[in-house]
Amino acid sequence: MLKVRNLTKVYYTGIFSRRSIFALNNLSFDVNRGDIFGIVGESGSGKTTIAQILLRLIEPDHGSVYFDKQNLLTLNGEKLRRFRQRIQAVSQNYESALNPRMKIEESLKEVFLVKGKKRCKEITRKSLSARLNEVGLNEEHLDRYPAQLSGGQLQRINIARAIALEPELIIADEPTSNLDVSVQAQIIHLMLGLKSKTNSTLIFISHDLDLVSLICNRVAVIKRGKIVETGVTEKILKHGGKKCLFQ
């Protein structure tokens, strides 16, 4: 489904000496339809950079990304707009993903209006609360502002927004890293349940190899912008994926 080839992204830092950081260095991997594909690596290894490139939020310096044989990186205009509906993201910053001045009802509605081009009248309160039921919330949450909800509830709303337009691929970048331990498991359960219900593909990004090996069928271990291991989860663990990660 997704073929990532030779991705390189360089950041330059420093005003006088232009020091270069290879956030990604010639990185390639494949994701099959239906996979729960784990990308695991320590902080600063380039995980978020991959997510941002796949979502077309930043451009790489080199490389290509094929999504169903179409080169994502060359899409623009209407084609890019249509493509954006097919890939959605859930990020670790569950708070900043929602507008603090908008009620949840408006935030949810916005997804359909902006991305789905539905008309306002077609989106009823009933249909929105049905969306919330899918993520374990209910109609009363529609009237709240983000500040009135817990981290777990906010992340549930972000998940509802991500799945609203039935994307084929969901990229979850450390979706539970900023949540309490007790809530993490619930959110993971929810994501896995929705993933199998909707038949979508999931890229799960984390620094936690134990977690990734528990839920993902295939994994890429990344270190300093390079893939050090990739393949079926059990094999990676046998080959000492953990060792690669923490050496």
Interface positions with Mg ion (CB under 5 A): 47-48
Q: How far is the CB of 126 from ligand ADP (least distance, A)?
A: 39
Q: How far is the CB of 208 from ligand ADP (least distance, A)?
A: 12
Q: Which does 113 bind (CB under 5 to 8 A by kind): Mg ion, ligand ADP, none?
A: none
- Report the site for ligand ADP in 30-49 (rule: CB under 6 A): 41, 43-49
Q: How far is the CB of 135 from ligand ADP (least distance, A)?
A: 25
How far is the C-alpha of 60 from the C-alpha of 38, rounded, in Å?
A: 21
Query: Which pair of structure tokens corresponds to residue 172?
Result: 């979850």
In the complex with ligand ADP, the residue whose CB is nearer, 10 or 102, is 10
How far is the C-alpha of 133 from the C-alpha of 138, rounded, in Å?
A: 5
Strands (E), the chain: 2-13, 19-31, 36-40, 62-67, 70-71, 87-90, 169-173, 201-206, 218-223, 226-232
**Length, in residues, of the chain:** 247
In the complex with ligand ADP, the residue whose CB is nearer, 94 or 112, is 94
Do the Cβ atoms of 39 and 203 come closer than 8 Å?
yes
21 lies in the site for ligand ADP, by CB under 6 A: yes
In the complex with ligand ADP, the residue whose CB is nearer, 218 or 223, is 223
CA distances from 94 to 31, 136, 190 (A): 25, 16, 15
In the complex with ligand ADP, the residue whose CB is nearer, 49 or 155, is 49
Q: How far is the CB of 158 from Mg ion (least distance, A)?
A: 16
Q: Which residues of this protein are in contact with ligand ADP, per CB under 6 A?
A: 11, 13, 21, 23, 41, 43-49
